[in-house]
Amino acid sequence: MKSVRDIDVTSKTVFVRVDYNVPVDEKLNITDDNRIVETLDLIRYLVKRQAKIILASHMGRPNGKRDPKLSLVKVAERLSQLLDKPVLFADDCIGEDISKRVSQLENSQILMLENLRFHPEEKENNEAFAKKLASLCDVYVNNAFAVSHRDQASVTGIPKFAPESVAGFLLEKEVQSYYDSVENPKRPLVAVIGGAKVSGKLAALENMLKFVDKLIIGGAMANTFLKSQGVDTKGSMIEEDLLQTAADIVKKAKKKGEDFLLPRDLVCADKFDKDARIKEVLVDQIPDQWMALDIGPKTALRYAKAIKDAGTIVWNGPMGVFEMEKFISGTQTIADAIAASSAFSIVGGGDTGLAAKKCNVADKVSYISTGGGAFLHLMEGKKLPGVVALE
């Protein structure tokens, strides 16, 4: 990829695709501004080099209709505070008024466009819409790793029509971190995979078998693997249609001589509730109708030991229902082990990033990805459409 560092942006109008899809509360106040903070270095770089800056993002799922609750106006206000610099705001992203405002931008000024997804053409990757966006700029910069697995107008459409298209700092950093952790890792490479469903990570698991030295399985997806090995998981969540697939993955791992670690004990509950009764049991001793909601303490310590001598650690998915205090212990032990390791550690975004923060290790791991879906896309061995569009 060509980098924004490789070109002269002085006095040029630079369209930056960012991901400002941030969480907000009932009063529309931003509750986590990390995705905004992650873009500050690039914006300051462009400001310093006298570029005219357009910022564009989506927020939520407005389904192609204008929704005041999903406006980016609050994001513009927060960005202005973080930069200690005015950020202009446009109430749309295309049209004559927008073109006029862009033409009036002075060097180092910043204009944020309204939610791209207020137009259905964004998700449809409509060519005419992409052309209109591209007509606003001299340079297109993709700095939105979290949406780079999407084939959408502002991700893959604009590069077809913009005079120059390059990668931003965050996109470069994300792709490099993946390369360093999976394709060119310091060994042993240990992958810790958790979360709810095997189906959501099936392709990633099968691809990771080509790279890893140890594969650690937790979360509800471990139940499907356990049942595929003959364990009666009682009332636990499993995916019946993937039992054979799970068995095949275990078989492939053993054939390759890789360590494939499954839970030996579990924290079970009589219901899916923060006030549920719980028991710590061996995997073959789950009470009737009870369900596994976390890995057990013996398993957590065994996993921590397996992590200790890692050269590289890839973590995607919590070990249990970490949102409930009774079922965070397994995830906490794993998070602490990763934080204590001297290995290069990369944490997949989404729930895993939230788990890292809740376990107070976010500042102790090497890198937390800003995009869960895009990170998983790479783990599946696929190229990101947003990156391919820049090549």
Secondary structure of residue 185 in the 3-state scheme: coil
Per-residue pLDDT, 370 = 87
Q: Which of 171, 211, 210 shows the shortest CA–CA distance to 188?
A: 211
Q: Span 332-354, mean pLDDT?
A: 94
Per-residue pLDDT, 371 = 86
Query: Which CATH class for the 176-379 domain?
Result: alpha beta
Q: Span 303-318, mean pLDDT?
A: 96
Q: Would you place residue 296 in the very low, low, confident or very high pLDDT band (cuts 50, 70, 90)? A: very high
- Tokens 């899809």 label which residue? 21
Q: Would you place residue 332 in the very low, low, confident or very high pLDDT band (cuts 50, 70, 90)? A: very high
DSSP 76-118: HHHHHHHHTS--EE-S-SSSHHHHHHHHTPPTT-EEEPP-GGG
Lowest mean pLDDT among 169-183, 290-304, 323-337: 169-183
Alpha carbon distance 159, 157 (integer Å): 6
Q: Span 73-96, mean pLDDT?
A: 98
Alpha carbon distance 172, 371 (integer Å): 13
Q: Which residues are catalytic, by number?
A: 35, 197, 350, 373
Q: pLDDT per residue over 356-365, tens digit each?
A: 999 999 999 9
Q: Would you place residue 229 in the very low, low, confident or very high pLDDT band (cuts 50, 70, 90)? A: very high
Alpha carbon distance 230, 372 (integer Å): 32
Break the chain into its structural domains and give their ranges: 4-169, 176-379
Q: Span 44-56, mean pLDDT?
A: 98
Q: Span 57-78, mean pLDDT?
A: 96
Query: Which CATH class for the 4-169 domain?
Result: alpha beta
Bridge partners for 214 per DSSP: 190, 259
Q: pLDDT per residue over 164-203, tens digit each?
A: 999 999 999 999 998 889 888 999 999 999 998 889 899 9
Per-residue pLDDT, 183 = 84
Q: Which of 206, 259, 249 shows the shortest CA–CA distance to 380?
A: 206
Alpha carbon distance 59, 73 (integer Å): 11
Per-residue pLDDT, 1 = 84
Lowest mean pLDDT among 27-31, 34-38, 105-109, 319-323: 27-31
Per-residue pLDDT, 372 = 83
Per-residue pLDDT, 283 = 97
Structure tokens at 351: 């729930």
Q: Do 287 and 263 form a contact (C-beta atoms < 8 A)?
A: no
DSSP 202-257: HHHHHHHTTT-SEEEE-STHHHHHHHHTT---TTS---GGGHHHHHHHHHHHHHTT
Q: In what order do the strands lie in the sheet with 259-261?
A: 259-261, 214-217, 189-193, 312-316, 344-347, 367-368
Per-residue pLDDT, 329 = 98
Q: Which of 175, 174, 205, 216 shows the shortest CA–CA distance to 337?
A: 216
- What's this model's pTM, rounded to 2 decimal places? 0.90
Q: Do 201 and 193 form a contact (C-beta atoms < 8 A)?
A: yes
List Cα–Cα distances, 49 to 42, 45, 368, in angstroms. 11, 6, 28
| Same fold for the pair 4-169 and 176-379 | yes
> Residue type at 88?
L
User: Residue 123: is its pLDDT beyond 90?
Assistant: yes
Q: Span 50-61, mean pLDDT?
A: 97
Q: pLDDT per residue over 138-156, tens digit each?
A: 999 999 999 999 999 999 9
Alpha carbon distance 41, 170 (integer Å): 9
Half-sphere exposure of 131 (CA within 13 A, CB side): 3
Per-residue pLDDT, 350 = 81
Structure tokens at 294: 């976390």
